[in-house]
């Protein structure tokens, strides 16, 4: 891949992000306000993978890690997740939370632990993604990050 470096999303690429999320059944309602928290991987100018890290106090919400169906099986989801978790570590965050309806086992295998939604800190519970965009039956997971 010629332009396979993960980079921060640009606002002018928002339509591509919304399309990729919609095609994969992920929420798009707050993409415009969260665009600055998304990172992207492109090939030949086409968005092939994306993910967001929404800061919330001493924590972050990992959100919408997605890979275009034509590019699955190449490890791009893992690459995006690792990139975002490294970003959280560089920011000295204490934990990363996420909600998922379909990828719980994947994230557990990546070190996350399932918790009850009532166990998350207020800063995470108050994010729009957590409070209203993800369904109540989504699995809640946390990865606690060691402090340097």
pLDDT tens string 107-126: 998 899 999 999 999 999 99
User: What average pLDDT does the structure give for the chain?
Assistant: 90
- Sheet of strand 7-8: strand arrangement: 7-8, 38-43, 46-56, 59-67, 95-100, 139-144, 113-115
CATH, range 7-144: 3.40.630.30
Burial 89-119 (b: 16+ CB within 10 A, else e): eeeebebbbbbbeebbeebeeeebeeeebee
- Statement: residue 3 has pLDDT above 70: no
Q: Which residue has the higher pLDDT, 59 or 105?
A: 59
Residue 132 CB-half CA count within 13 A: 5
DSSP helix/strand/coil, 48: strand
Give the pLDDT of residue 136. 75
DSSP helix/strand/coil, 119: helix
pLDDT tens string 54-96: 999 999 999 999 999 999 999 999 999 999 999 999 999 999 9
- Statement: residue 148 has pLDDT above 70: no
pLDDT band at 2 (very low <50, low <70, confident <90, very high): very low
Domain residue ranges of the chain, discontinuous segments joined by +: 7-144
């Amino acid at each position: 891949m010629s332009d396979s470096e993960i980079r921060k999303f640009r606002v002018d690429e928002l339509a591509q992000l919304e399309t990729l999320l919609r095609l994969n059944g992920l929420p798009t309602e707050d993409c415009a306000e969260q665009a600055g928290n998304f990172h992207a991987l492109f090939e030949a100018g086409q968005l092939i993978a994306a993910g967001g890290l929404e800061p919330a106090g001493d924590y972050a919400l990992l959100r919408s890690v997605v890979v275009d169906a034509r590019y699955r099986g190449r490890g791009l989801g893992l690459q995006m997740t690792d990139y975002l978790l490294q970003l959280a570590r560089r920011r000295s965050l204490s934990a990363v939370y996420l909600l998922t309806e379909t990828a719980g086992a994947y994230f557990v295998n990546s070190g996350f632990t399932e918790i009850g939604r009532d166990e998350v800190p207020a800063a995470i519970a108050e994010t729009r993604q957590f409070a209203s965009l993800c369904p109540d039956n989504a699995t809640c997971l946390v990865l606690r990050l060691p402090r340097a």
